A = this chain, B = another copy of it.
């Protein structure tokens, strides 16, 4: 009999194929497990597979009295109540760095799309403006990457990979993070100093109470009129309302977002703007990113059921 794994959140079927080959999956398909399964089934659950950004508190943990581990699919675990898990002796696993390269690629895709106005350019051709030689203020030559100082907020697995990519574009690279790292980039002493120094700010910091709305109207203003902000971390880090105002008033020139305050919703004020590039939280969603995340999930599950510590564990 294969061991049981409760799938707590909604995942595409294709992402569960490899895990289902070795385990019996109880798929709650995004529903409350108390509604999806009988009390007896819930008592037999020793491990859940979760989306780390979705809320997972003590209430859910208490429905699963045999729960020994929460395995997050992906890097993030900001939705998990770490204290509640620790109090119940529940281990937490994730996939650190598994999709970091794919997320870093998305950061550059959004940065280049924003700085080089790819959406405006494409629309300018498709609506016939180019053929008609129509003038377009948004198509005027802008500062490119070579003339830019690019600031990276956060220097973890993803921030590091973003920095390596940005450096290849002949941009100057600076960063701010809680501590200085052994990397060949300029360290700025605060987020304010980073925003003053750079004109492109890429957010790659871990979400949490201390970073909630830390990129606010003041930070955006410091980027300047030709400034761009890109967020591939979590929607909570960036004050989305302040961003809408900054883009509308042209306090900054553009933005690229893979994450939002309340996913899967992007407010109308944001989607009405021409100077923002939007992506539906797909930074890590490449074929190779999913294989790497599944490798971490499978290694964590195998270790858990063998009574060993999780190889990819979140230290709480």
Contacts and interface: CB of A to CB of B under 8 A. Distances in A.
A271 B126 contact: yes
Interface in A67-103: 101-102
A100 to B, nearest CB: 10
Contacts of A168: 164-165, 167-168
A130 B282 CA distance: 11
Interface residues on A, range: 35 or more
Interface string A106-142: 1011101100101101101110001101000001111
A106 B116 contact: yes
**Number of chain copies forming the complex:** 2
A177 B200 CA distance: 35
A57 interface: no
A241 interface: no
Interface in A27-57: none
Interface of A: 14, 101-102, 105-106, 108-110, 112-113, 116, 118-119, 121-122, 124-126, 130-131, 133, 139-147, 164-165, 167-170, 264-266, 271, 277-280, 282, 285-290
